Amino acid sequence: MHRKNGVVWLLLLGMALSAAAAEKPSLPGWASYQAGDYAQAFLMFKAGAERGDRVAQYDLAMLYWRGEGVPRDRVQALKWLQQAAAAHLSSAQFVLAQVYESGDGLPRDMQQATRLFEAAARQGHRDAQVSVATQYYLGRGAPQDYASAARWYRAAAKQGDVGAQYLLASQYEHGLGVQEDWREAVRWYTRAAAQGDRAAQLKAKALAAAHAG
């Protein structure tokens, strides 16, 4: 999906700083940010970023993009985001992949988006696992590969992503990238249904009924 007009960033910025804090809750500047002292947070994040702290680089990128404690500056935001991604911070890789996917701030590059999604996915980033699975499923930024799609949907499904659970179930139902297996399909539809996915509940019941007896 091609998002425009900063929608990618608006969707992601709300989680960005908290994601970084989850990796390093003692990051200097985090307490200032939580207290609403963005100017002080900016100074401390910038000092950390310049020392090579990848979480500080990520947080600094978010401040530049939001214009918190500093005038909004997309160029600086992307500079620091790219540095954090190059340092293998999965959250930064995921956000940068979204930027490449959307073409919002950088030239649209689906191959680069897929590469970054997969790099983050290999570190266990659940949303990146879903995203790279979808890239392979659709053949977007990579050759279409249902087996790879199933592998990454399974990884995200095991982490509780309801959409991944549904899509993995569908692959088992139709034999896309995996051996057709209605029991596995029902199992994953049921797990999605347990999280409130009504369509998955109906699919699980219909599929089980079709194979009853």
Residue 179 lies in a domain: no
* pLDDT for 212: 86
Say which CATH number the domain at 29 has.
Answer: 1.25.40.10
What gap in Å lies between CA 106 and CA 96, rounded to an integer? 9
What gap in Å lies between CA 154 and CA 129, rounded to an integer? 9
pTM of the model: 0.87
The total number of structural domains that make up the chain: 1
Residue 101 lies in a domain: yes
What gap in Å lies between CA 82 and CA 76, rounded to an integer? 10
Cα angle 116, 69, 67; round to 5: 55
What gap in Å lies between CA 198 and CA 29, rounded to an integer? 43
What gap in Å lies between CA 188 and CA 190, rounded to an integer? 5
Q: Residue count of the chain, please give it.
A: 213
Q: Which structural domain, as residue segments, surrounds residue 133?
A: 7-157
Instruction: Return the CA Rg of the chain.
Output: 20
Give the DSSP letter of residue 91: H
* pLDDT for 6: 46
Which residue positions in the chain have pLDDT lower than 50? Answer: 1-11, 14-22
Residue 170 lies in a domain: no
Chain centroid to Cα 55, Å, comes to 17
CB 64 within 8 Å of CB 57: no
Residue 35 lies in a domain: yes
Residue 120 lies in a domain: yes
Burial, 44: exposed, middle or buried (Cβ in 10 Å; 0-12, 13-18, 19+)? buried
* pLDDT for 18: 43
Q: Which residues, other chains included, contact 1 with Cβ-Cβ below 8 Å and sequence gap of 6+?
A: 101
